[in-house]
Amino acid sequence: MPIIYLQTILIAVIEGLTEFIPVSSTGHMILFGHFIQFTGEKAATFQIFIQAGAILAVVFIYRERFLGLLPHKLNPTDIYRSLFNGNTHPTGLHILLAIMPIMIVGLYLYSIIKSQLFSPVTVSLGLIVGGLLMVIVELLPIRYSVCKLEEISYRQSFLVGLGQCLAVWPGMSRSGSTMITGLLLGIKHKPIADFSFIIAVPVMFAAVSYDLMKSWRLLELSDAGYFIIGFLITFGVAWVSIKWFLRVLTRVRLIPFGIYRIIIGGISLWIFWV
């Protein structure tokens, strides 16, 4: 097996495992990519492309909620009712409010993020900071008022979206940022995890599409094999990872993930900075 296939299989497994649990998939791929010498523009494009597999896993798991957003008939009234009056929850307006902040911030800070923040040292710091925040939030005496996904308000959706903006710092984790914010707002672990995964789909789809439009020229026909394999592996592993995380989250909460982040971030910081 050519070394490129082994490298991409390993990266795809890491992406699938870490994309939706709060440990930062981007951070893990950057750090691990440096360890196995899978770096450069084409490697970055591969890492972006396989995220589409993770997106597809979420769409399948929450397919009933996404199908509920679709109108029964293609007329303005039915489209409006489907998106904003709620055949399902969260409605289109909940999702829109939650994704607007990071869409705006990501668009305006794209070049700065790519040039300044995608390094092993900044990722390691992001892992540590995010891990500390998780541990601190779990130790706070928070009174949870939202126990179901259907109880999340428009205001809470927007505030979770603001918290999601922390994810522009690679290593902070998009799911980690949204879950920390949701817990502080009094949303229990399971509903904020579900909400985080659902709003990830349009955010990640936009980010992946934008990045691929900029880097597609780097690819050749010979790259198709390991790109397809990486996509399929990421899809399968992400599906299993999400199901597992939702089962254990209410029992273990975020502290084990926070401690793991601090340890990994500390080791990586020592390796790359010292």
Per-residue confidence (pLDDT) for residue 273, from 0 to 100: 76
Helix, strand or coil, per DSSP, at residue 187? strand
Q: What is the DSSP string of 116-159?
A: II-SHHHHHHHHHHHHHHHHHHHHS-PPP-B-SGGG--HHHHHH
Token pair 């929450």 in the structure block, residue: 62
**CA atoms of 55 and 203, how far apart (whole Å):** 10
Q: Mean pLDDT score of the chain, rounded to an integer? A: 89
Over residues 96-133, the pLDDT tens digits come to 999 999 999 988 877 777 667 678 888 999 999 999 99
Phi, psi (deg, nearest 5) at residue 185: -85, 0
Number of H helices, E strands in the chain: 13, 0
More confident call, 31 vs 188: 188
Per-residue confidence (pLDDT) for residue 86, from 0 to 100: 62
Over residues 26-82, the pLDDT tens digits come to 889 888 888 888 888 888 888 888 999 999 999 999 998 888 887 777 777 766 776
**Its pTM surpasses 0.85:** yes
Per-residue confidence (pLDDT) for residue 114, from 0 to 100: 66
Q: Which of 123, 101, 114, 122 lies closest to 215, judged by CA?
A: 114
Which residues face 204 on adjacent strands?
Answer: none
Answer for the pair 197, 16: CB distance below 8 angstroms, yes or no. Answer: no
Q: Which long-range contacts (CB under 8 A, 24 or more apart) does 252-257 make?
A: 253/138, 253/189, 254/22, 254/134, 254/135, 254/137, 254/138, 254/176, 254/179, 254/180, 254/183, 254/189, 255/134, 255/135, 255/138, 257/21, 257/22, 257/23, 257/131, 257/134, 257/176
Q: How far is CA 262 from the centre of its chain?
A: 19
Token pair 């020592």 in the structure block, residue: 270
Residue 88 has pLDDT above 70, yes or no: yes
Lowest-confidence range among 184-188, 221-225, 254-258? 221-225
The domain segmentation of the chain, as residue ranges, is 3-273
Q: Which of 273, 203, 269 lies closest to 27, judged by CA?
A: 269
